Amino acid sequence: MGTKEQVQCEFLLLQLYCHSESSFFAKIPYYYYIKEISQNLKEPMWLDKIKNRLKERHYPRVEGFVQDMRLIFQNHRASYKYNDFGLMGLRLEAEFEKVFKEVFAIQETNESSPVV
């Protein structure tokens, strides 16, 4: 990952840390210690782990960073299917997707838009 992309990912992560509900996702999730839940998850993931991976330049491409971020929310949905905590994950996930598109200047296309 180039320097520009590295800084963009760090900025995006910082934006999520500033979100009011991010503290719940910053540290290793409690379900990591519950065998019945954790064995069904691909890999436990949390914000501090991603921060360390960024610091260590673990991600060769932005795609790996985005996959880890989305893994946080996938794991959260699987662990809190019928719980108010699930809504917290949905809100932070929506914030991530919004800021990701802004930081990387990704514009959504509308199928009814004329092609230029």
Per-residue pLDDT of 5-37, as tens digits, reads 999 999 999 999 999 989 989 998 877 767 666
Helix (H) or strand (E) segment spanning residue 90: helix 84-103
Inform me whether the pLDDT recorded for 110 exceeds 70. Answer: no
Give the span between the Cα atoms of 32 and 25, in whole angstroms. Answer: 12
Question: Could you tell me the two tokens for 70?
Answer: 């989305």
From the list 72, 81, 65, 95, the residue with the least C-alpha distance to 24 is 72
| Mean pLDDT of the region 46-66 | 97
Residue 116's pLDDT is 45
Given the structure tokens 């914030």, which residue do they identify? 95
Q: Rounded to two decimals, what is the model's pTM?
A: 0.84
**Residue from 75, 73, 55 nearest 6 by CA:** 55
pLDDT tens for each residue of 62-87: 999 999 999 999 988 888 776 777 78
| pLDDT at residue 6, rounded to an integer | 96
